Amino acid sequence: MNYFKKVFLFILGVVFILSLAYSNSFNRGDYNTKRLVLKKGSTVNYLIDLRKEGFIKRILQPQTYSSYLRVNLEEAAQLQCKAETKDMQIYLSQGSKKGLWPELKENMILKSNNNRLIKTQNVMVRAEKNIIPINVEIKLNDDVKADSCEGNLVFTEKGKLYGIIKITVLRS
């Protein structure tokens, strides 16, 4: 009797793990980690396709998308960022795994990870220079029924335009 109980629990555990792996496939495409190279005076296009969202995300939050951008700069710069949109709202933040991520305001200078150390194969090395991590939360307006929405992330340095990331969101 005890043997059948152990076999049953083992089979139940395997079925549970397989169901978790299957449900994880529903969540692919719910967020995106993207590395963009922004040169001074340039415009970079960034395309988000909401049709690639997972089933669960489409049911729970069909109008919201999260993206984690790593913006590579060609040279060190103290940048500010603001969102210019018409058909969507963009929430920008910078943070780490520690604590809350405060919203970026227009006059805040973006932090780069120039001095961060990372561990690779038991050796501490410096991270790549001039990378600015930005967390972007996009919420599409409910009243707009267009197939695509556009917005810009405008980067400025000391009041002068540095570069633009043009965000295009494709809806289903």
Q: What single string gives the DSSP state of each residue in 47-69?
A: EEEGGGS-HHHHHH-TTEEEEEE
Are the CB atoms for 72 and 39 separated by under 8 Å? Answer: no
pLDDT of residue 113: 66
Specify whether the CB–CB gap between 37 and 46 falls below 8 A.
no
What is the pTM assigned to this prediction? 0.74
**CA pair distance 9, 6, nearest whole angstrom:** 5
**Which domains occur in the chain, in start order?**
27-170 (2.60.40.10)
Whether 94 contacts 109, CB under 8 Å: no
Annotate 49-82 with b (16+ C-beta within 10 A) or e (fewer): ebeebbeebeeeeeebbebebebebeeebebbbb
Per-residue pLDDT 10s for the chain (172 aa) are 688 899 999 999 999 998 888 777 666 666 778 888 888 889 999 998 887 777 777 777 878 888 888 888 887 788 888 888 888 888 888 866 666 677 777 777 777 766 555 555 555 555 567 788 888 888 888 787 778 889 999 998 888 999 999 999 887 6
**Residue for token digits 């289903």?**
172
